[in-house]
Amino acid sequence: MNRLAHWLLALTLLGSGSLHATEAARCELVRLPDVGWTDITMTTAVARLVLGELGYRTQIKRLSLPETYRALAEGRMDVFLGNWMPAQAELIQAHLDSGRIELLHTNLPAVRYTLAVLAPGYEAGLQDFADIHKFKEQLGGQIFGIEPGNEGNEMVKAMIRDDRFGLRGFSLVESSESGMLNHVERAQRLGKWAVFLGWEPHPMNERLRMHYLAGGDEYFGPDFGAAQVNTVARGGFSAECPNLTRLLRNMTFTIAAENQLMSAVLEGNTNRRRVAKAWIENNPQTIAAWLAGVTHQRGTPSGGLFGLPPGH
């Protein structure tokens, strides 16, 4: 038995004691989409390790955000840890209303997602969505987004199409999280301007001299795009998988924790599993809270988890 298994067993002995609720056979395999954002990739990596030590099998599939919600609604995926609200409401609300997707838990209560600008632009007066068009020349007529299909990209496209904030004639540069950051970091090194999709938590908030823009409440929500991140599941998941649901409803992150996880990956250690494992071992109180009332997938008493004899 490896160190992580021993360690999680000790925490479960402290945190678990409730009777196991019978789960449907399909709950043994937990299918998790990965949309390619570093924060959700890392929280999913942490969840995957914990699930594995509790006897669940996991399967990760790389999907776009729209594909993720379609797969959940059709029962082809089980759980997604990256539902940013209200920004993703247009993609998910109909599925929530119909019961094809269910909301399990808010796993990160206070986040931010909206357009941001590098410091030279902000200091020159680009501080609001309504200011962007005034500086079209300095911006090269471009706004940098992330992967195609992302809801933030779609909102920027709508602004350009409808000439909101005078943005007709601008273009949205779609790539990926890493592609967008490469563009913006290069602009910063060269002392150039850039407007781009920014969010918190993310190490970009420390690596970039950036400011969030005011005035985007209609699209990204008030208070500079203040939002929350939810764990959502396919319809019927909580009824079929009560033990898993208990774990996922216990699983809450913090901005500090996510910044630690993302920084470790983005600043050199690209082995995400190793980063997730180290974070778990360094945060015993957090993991103990997550395991409260949770049993092994087989329903064995907590003392028998991970192959150790009862009472070990």
Domain locations in the chain as residue ranges:
3-109+228-307, 112-226
Q: Which CATH class is domain 3-109+228-307?
A: alpha beta
Cα(153)–Cα(143) distance, rounded to whole angstroms? Answer: 10
Cα(220)–Cα(226) distance, rounded to whole angstroms? Answer: 8
- Using a 10 angstrom Cβ sphere, with 0-12 exposed, 13-18 middle and 19 or more buried, the burial of residue 177 is buried
What is the amino acid identity at position 74?
Answer: E
> Higher pLDDT residue, 279 or 269?
279
> What does the pLDDT look like over 157-181, one tens digit per residue?
999 999 999 999 999 999 999 999 9
What pLDDT, on the 0 to 100 scale, is given for residue 87? 87
Report, as an integer, the average pLDDT of 259-278.
84
Q: How far is CA 286 from CA 11, 22, 186, in A?
A: 10, 26, 37
pLDDT bin (cut points 50, 70, 90) of residue 234 is: very high
What pLDDT, on the 0 to 100 scale, is given for residue 304? 38
pLDDT > 50? residue 90: yes
pLDDT > 50? residue 312: no
pLDDT bin (cut points 50, 70, 90) of residue 5 is: low
pLDDT > 70? residue 243: yes
**Are 287 and 50 within 8 A, CB to CB?**
yes
> What does the pLDDT look like over 271-294, one tens digit per residue?
889 999 999 999 999 999 999 999
What pLDDT, on the 0 to 100 scale, is given for residue 16? 45
Report, as an integer, the average pLDDT of 210-232.
94
Mean per-residue pLDDT over the chain, rounded: 89
Cα(265)–Cα(276) distance, rounded to whole angstroms? Answer: 10
- 281-299 in b/e form (b: 16+ CB < 10 A) is eeeeebbbebbbbbbbbee
What pLDDT, on the 0 to 100 scale, is given for residue 125? 98
What pLDDT, on the 0 to 100 scale, is given for residue 110? 87
Answer whether 3-109+228-307 and 112-226 agree in fold. yes
> What does the pLDDT look like over 33-55, one tens digit per residue?
999 898 999 999 999 999 999 99
Report, as an integer, the average pLDDT of 260-270.
79
pLDDT > 70? residue 92: yes
CATH of domain 112-226: 3.40.190.100
pLDDT > 80? residue 7: no
